[in-house]
Homo-oligomer: A and B are copies of this chain.
Amino acid sequence: MEFLRAVSSAEALAIIGSFRADPMKETTGINDVLHRILSEDVVSQEDIPSFPRSLVDGFALKVKDIQGAKETNPSFLYVQGEIRIGEATRIELEDGKCVYLTTGAMIPEGADGVVMQEFARPAGDAIEVTKTLHKGENICFQGEDIAKGAVVLQKGRKLSAFDVGVLSVIGMSVVPVYKQPVAGIISTGDEIVSVEEAPPFGKIRDINRYTVANLLKGSGAVCNFLGIGQDTVDSIADKLQLARECELIILSGGSSKGQRDCIADAVLRLGGEMLFHGINIKPGKPTIFARLWGKPVFGLPGHPNSCAMVMMRFVLPLLRRMKGEEGYRERTMPGILSTNIPSTSGVEEYVKVTIREIDGERYVSPIFSKSSVISSFVDASGYVIIPEGKDGCEKDEKVEVYLF
């Protein structure tokens, strides 16, 4: 097997980051676009609103007609008519007059303000206005929400519930999005049995299948589980063949050197190319990255804890690129360390933490656990990164917590 040294975290991210990703496009109905990624800039073909609308229940008027109006000296305006919501009015407002309308109704030609009902006293077929207005008050003007021709949402944006509202308001019922990448997931290891089986003594259930698949699913991939491979090059190569149509291939397992070599050898036998073999991180060092059939292949550590950390730090960023997402920001939270955290210089370490809030200050405490232990994730709020150049972190140091 071709020898490759372990790379630093930054080198690993650079190698993964230079892997070519060409997200594919499709369209989908507006009912199913939540959290999908826009594949084109969305430009409004219309002014929104398409006509000036009232923001309140009241009377549309000419602001000049009520100059100086107050409780003790109201302005007197005849009611010229009424405009109902949803109605296209042809009323042209005359001087000294007003038009009754409700919230959302069209503002008549000539009006430049709407006085709320509570500041208009009825007086026969007229009203007394007890308050002045500034020009444009209580009106949402044509194009004030969205102007025709404006880019309302940019390519690469992950669509929120509000964004879907914006798509609907401009009438985009069919939405251009990127396809969701299809990931093939393979667990490996002679010791692994499926979750439905009672593991014989000496064997364990497959955990990584579920953490890997759900982390991918939660980040917008479609997951195919391709089964459990044994620790032979043949068995793993067979499983890899099943992943030929997938866009991203994730193997987990390979805790021991022998197991890892099987994965690497299987990738090479099928014509793949190793891109790195090992990252100087803790946990997660025994991570493999390769190219096979032009697709990215990760060989993740078997230890569930390590496997999950490498997923978050190295696999999900590639997935986001593959699905065309732009402007992703990690959810982080600043806090103060409640205790020292030792670390090894030359290795980037990820330490799971809890956050406790006391008097508006957030205190961060490490959870120390063995790399085979998955249960520590249950209690953790997130993790902190101790850079490879650093010799641990000290109590009272300000740190950034990456939230789960």
Mark A residues whose CB is within 8 Å of B: 30-31, 34-35, 48-51, 53, 55, 57, 84-89, 102-106, 140, 144-146, 152-153, 160-173, 189-192, 195-196, 198-211, 213-215, 217-218, 231, 255-259, 302-304, 308, 331, 333-334, 360, 370-375, 377-378, 398, 404
Looking at A55, A152, A308, which has the most chain B CB atoms within 10 Å of its CB? A55
Q: Which residues of B contact A51 (CB under 8 A)?
A: 201-202
Contact A57 B257 (CB under 8 A): yes
In the bound complex, CA of A92 to CA of B49 (Å): 81
Q: Name 23 interchain pairs, CB-CB below 8 A, sorted by A.
A: A34-B214, A34-B217, A35-B218, A49-B204, A85-B190, A86-B203, A88-B201, A89-B202, A104-B189, A140-B373, A152-B378, A160-B377, A161-B214, A161-B218, A162-B377, A162-B404, A163-B377, A165-B210, A165-B308, A166-B377, A169-B204, A173-B195, A331-B331
Is A106 touching B55 in the complex (CB atoms < 8 A)? no
Chain B positions within 8 Å of A85 at CB level: 189-191, 231, 255-256, 259
Bound Cα distance A84, B371 (Å):
20
- Complex CA gap A100/B207 in Å reads 26
**Chain B residues, Cβ within 8 Å of A370:** 55, 140, 144
State the CA gap A173–B152 with chains docked (Å): 44
Whether B165 pairs with A208 at a CB distance below 8 angstroms is yes
CA distance A140 to B256 in the complex (A): 15
> Whole-angstrom distance between the alpha carbons of A377 and B195 in the complex?
43
Kindly report which residue of chain B lies nearest to residue A169, judged by CB atoms.
B207
Contacts of A198 in B (CB 8 A): 171
With a cutoff of 8 Å between Cβ atoms, the chain B residues found around residue A302 in the complex are 103-104
Within the complex, what minimum Cβ distance (angstroms) separates A384 from chain B?
15
* Interchain nearest-CB distance for A383 vs B (Å): 12
CB-nearest residue of chain B to A302: B104
Q: What chain B residues lie within 8 Å of A196 (beta carbons)?
A: 173
- Interface class of chain A by DSSP: loop
Contact of A374 among B105, B145, B255, B398 (CB under 8 A): B145
- Residue from B87, B169, B173 in contact with A202 in the complex, judged by beta carbons closer than 8 Å: B87
- Tell me which of B55, B201, B203 contacts A372 (CB under 8 A): B55
Given the complex of chains A and B, what is the CA–CA distance between A169 and B210 in angstroms? 9
Chain B residues within an 8 Å CB radius of A34: 214, 217-218
Instruction: Determine the chain B residues whose CB is within 8 A of the CB of A205 once the complex forms.
Output: 168-171
Q: Which residue of B lies closest to A193 (CB)?
A: B86
**Of all chain B residues, which has the CB nearest A301?**
B103
Say whether, besides A189-B85, A255-B102, A168 and B207 are in contact (CB < 8 Å).
Answer: yes
- Residue of A35, A199, A205 with most chain B CB atoms under a 10 A cut-off: A205
Quick one: closest B residue to A197, CB to CB? B171
CB distance from A90 to the nearest CB of B (A): 10
Q: A163-B378, A214-B34 are in contact. Are A168 and B209 (CB under 8 A)?
A: yes
Beta-carbon contact of B165 and A304 below 8 Å: yes
Assembly CA distance A55 to B170 (angstroms): 57
- Whether A211 pairs with B161 at a CB distance below 8 angstroms is yes
Query: Known contacts A304-B165, A370-B55; is A50 also within 8 Å of B201 by CB?
Result: yes
Complex Cα–Cα for A378 and B103 (A): 24
Residues in B whose Cβ lies below 8 Å from that of A308: 161-162, 165
| A375 CA to B104 CA, complexed, in Å | 17
